[in-house]
Copies of this chain bind each other. A is one copy, B any other.
């Protein structure tokens, strides 16, 4: 794509964000380029100018944008996760982010569940996103181990996967329930696993 002016970049961002909202509301299936044009008051040729790759390119840009939003919502805690307080703050931040979206769905989780409906490039991008997220949580487990808060024999990658699975599965179960109690129950369970790995055992009190 040709270099964009500042105004062009803004228009492009606006289109990506409107598409992200539409996909969250109606799924990839319920999001046509006509819907995007209507929501952003852009013409066919404008849309083609900014996204010559059409819907596939737009979905890819949405995945990247949602990934950045999701990571930003987890800071500064995600980059820390060296204390139990930091883990608790990270969990609160995530819950607030999802609540703020107005529904119990992770934009990245939903895109991944619809991955069969995307092209290989988008699938690869989602793959890289998951690995990145999980690695950052696993790094947090390693920091807890280095600080003597978690059993050094525990597997950081498996623990990180269990925690993110609780987030995603908890959200999925909360969606039909229209309540966050399943998310809370899933996170409580994942946290119980983490806390059972405090050196000295479960009897230890939160620091």
Chain A positions within 8 Å of B, measured between CB atoms, are 24-30, 103, 105, 109-110, 112-118, 123, 126-127, 130-131, 134, 155, 157-159, 161-162, 164-170, 172-173, 175-177, 181-186, 188-190, 192-193, 196, 202
Contact = CB atoms under 8 A, between A and B. Distances in A.
A109 B112 CA distance: 11
Main secondary structure of the interface of A (DSSP, over half): helix
Contacts of A168: 165, 168-169, 172-173
Given A113-B109, A113-B110, A185 B173 contact: no
Given A158-B185, A166-B166, A192-B193, A172 B112 contact: yes
B196 A30 contact: no
Among A123, A134, A168, A202, chain B packs the most CB atoms within 10 A around the CB of: A168
B161 A29 contact: no
Given A27-B114, A115-B176, A127-B176, A189 B182 contact: no
